[in-house]
A and B are shown apart, each in its own frame.
Chain A
Amino acid sequence: MTRIDKAAWRRRSVLKLGAFAIGAGLALPALAADPIKIGLTTALSGQSARAGEAITRGLTIAVEELNANGGVLGGRKFELIRRDDEATPAKGVIAARELVFKEKVAVLFGGLDTPVSLAIVPIMNQAKVPFIGPWAAGTPITKNGANPNYVFRVSAVDEIVDKAMLQYAQKNFNTKKPGLILINNPWGESNEKGLRAAMAAKDVKPAGIEKFESNDIDVVPQLTRLKEAGADTLFMVGNVGPSAQVVKSLDRMGWDVPIVSHWGPAGGRFSELAGPNAKKVHFVQTYSFFGKQTPVGEKVMKALMAKYSDIKGPDDVTPAVGVANAYDAMMLVAQAIQIAGSTDGDAIRQGFYKIDKYEGLIKTYVKPFSPKVHDAITENDYVWTQFIDGKILPVGMVK
């Protein structure tokens, strides 16, 4: 045999072997012991890397607990596969396609960016694979108009947060005339809509609605307008940097007014950026590991400390919402798969609707999903927090 012949023979053998292996793979049914793949596409690098890591940790703790208890469907264990979407919709779409079509994940978890999740939603509804949101709050993610809808969420939702903001302000600050200070982007717009609806439902008239840019240095003119219009509370929606600009501008004006905020400040070094008055901002969270914990809370905290050497206590679980939402979402996914009796996407979707009760970290979920309700967290489930010395603590915990 010449050298060329030998090479050709070797190539043919490899091809035959490959064809055999593929054929064998196709012919084999899923073994009982085959792991169930769970996908996660979120920002694992850049500004939001910490949030992506928090989601990962919540999912990991839940998966390990489920696997230790024997898995689902008669002993099948879960396996988590992560991809970095770098907070960009295009990368998120590529990652979602790869996880769904190549890795064949049974369900896919999303990350914290609403635009990324919105880009992934149509793919998931088309592929008929459930997509679970443990963070991004944009209302249209779950209310996407698809029927059947494969998108579920265990996190805050803008329109529900907006109702909760009004409810909290009325209860705690006796708010009669709120002033809205909103970031000038789609997120601000989504909340303007939600807050207007919430206020209209309770017959509350705002003192004014002001927008500010993420690069605004001085928000004093906008705030002065609200003050002159008689605002008695501020409703603030903005990421950490812009929210800090609002607090600093209020400092300069010497205007001491209650501030009720969406969860923007939680995303970074709010205490450092906003200065000592950062603590005046009361913002929404879905969970806090500080204070008295439920047995589930204690169990999760213990598991986190055992698994991650950098976690010594509740201080180190940041951002806590990522961990808590992801943990509960994974537990609900396991229940849905168990009820479905298979990893078929449509069966899992139906399974979500049949979940009866689950005693979770954030709350005890009773029939959390229905064909009309794809969001498991309601306005009564939020925790109100404030930044004290760089820590997110429940309001009133430190005087």
Chain B
Amino acid sequence: MLFASALVSGLGLGSMYGLLALGFYITYSVSSTVNFSQGSSMMLGAVFAYTFAVTYGWPLAPAIIMALVLCALYGVVVERVAIRPFALRGSSAWLMATVAIGIVADNAVLFTFGKEPRGFPMPLASGSVQILGIGVSPLQLAIPVIGLALAGLLHFFSRKTRLGKAMLAVVQNRDAARLMGINVSAAVSLAFAVSTVFAGVAGIMIAPLFNVHSDMGTLFGLKAFAVAILGGITSAWGVMIAGLLFGVVEGLITAGLGSTYTHILTFALVIVALALRPNGLFGRAEVKKV
């Protein structure tokens, strides 16, 4: 029972990490940069959805759609303000700039939304169903399904659609893609928008199980980056599977040894895994032509 409950709770959390980490994968693939404020993007998804659904009383569906649209806009702004000016000059300052924009977002929310955590009830989160003798909320079961579905959708989009192929072309060779008439900056903007939407989805799904507050995404963002690196940031499925693995290992350590050891052992295992496989569990070494 202990094992089963750790597995279910680990899979739920793991798919959240995976979703956030997919955001790192998308932007890294297209532009070799990542948005270190993914945790804040997740928080914004939850805060926007709460504001529309609870404060303004909108029905849930339009509230979620609107929240995700705003998340996409945030992604575009992050790319335009904190990535592009630095990446164009070949500087790595985007690293700090994305951290900074995340802190700005967290504090702006702290100021406007307030410091008090708020509860975000959702029909899917209430009640529990019994599986293998343990109680699970329906939302907990839905989270991994939605997470894997989004990873699948991303895979399909990048391989089968024209836009996806254009993005892959940008990944392979920016200059060649530009010469072929692909709008490279639009493709990069789109990648950031998709990455923040994924984070927003994670935030909205986690909100009813957790609560909504300005720093709800901080630790998540950090863990998601660890997951992205662990999965080998160049593989979508790898990142998603690493997320699930990370969540399950976390759950099993807590259940088996107690929560005192959770962070010590999970992050120690990340180091061991990377020492054994420097390009991540599912990544491939990049080939650099000289």
Contacts and interface: CB of A to CB of B under 8 A. Distances in A.
Interface of A: 46-47, 184, 208, 210-213, 215-218, 220-222, 224-225, 228, 240-241, 244-245, 248, 251-255, 268-269, 272-275
Contacts of B213: 241
B135 A218 contact: no
A254 B135 contact: yes
Question: Which of A184, A221, A225, A274 counts the most chain B CB atoms within 10 A?
Answer: A221
28 contacts: A47-B115, A184-B259, A208-B258, A210-B258, A211-B260, A213-B259, A215-B219, A215-B220, A217-B210, A218-B251, A221-B5, A221-B6, A222-B259, A224-B2, A224-B5, A225-B255, A228-B1, A241-B117, A244-B119, A244-B211, A245-B210, A251-B135, A252-B137, A252-B140, A273-B117, A273-B118, A274-B119, A275-B119
Nearest to B250: A221
Contacts of B51: none
Interface in B198-232: 206, 209-211, 213, 216, 218-220
B216 A253 contact: no
B126 A228 contact: no
Interface of B: 1-2, 5-6, 9, 12-13, 115-119, 121, 126, 128, 130, 134-137, 140, 206, 209-211, 213, 216, 218-220, 251, 254-255, 258-260
Given A228-B1, A269-B116, A218 B13 contact: yes
A251 B259 contact: no
A228 B3 CA distance: 12
A243 to B, nearest CB: 11
A240 to B, nearest CB: 7
Contacts of A225: 2, 255, 258
Contacts, number: 93
B126 to A, nearest CB: 7
A241 B214 CA distance: 13
A184 B263 CA distance: 12
Contact of B118 (A46, A184, A222, A269): A269
A217 B143 CA distance: 13
A273 B258 CA distance: 25
Contacts of B220: 215
Question: Which of B134, B206, B211 counts the most chain A CB atoms within 10 A?
Answer: B211
Given A220-B5, A224-B5, A241-B213, A275 B259 contact: no
Contacts of B126: 275
A212 B118 contact: no
Contacts of B119: 244, 269, 272-275
A215 B216 CA distance: 7
Contacts of A245: 210-211
B38 to A, nearest CB: 15
A180 B118 CA distance: 26
Given A211-B258, A245-B210, A254-B130, 7 more contacts: A208-B258, A213-B219, A217-B206, A224-B2, A228-B2, A244-B117, A269-B116
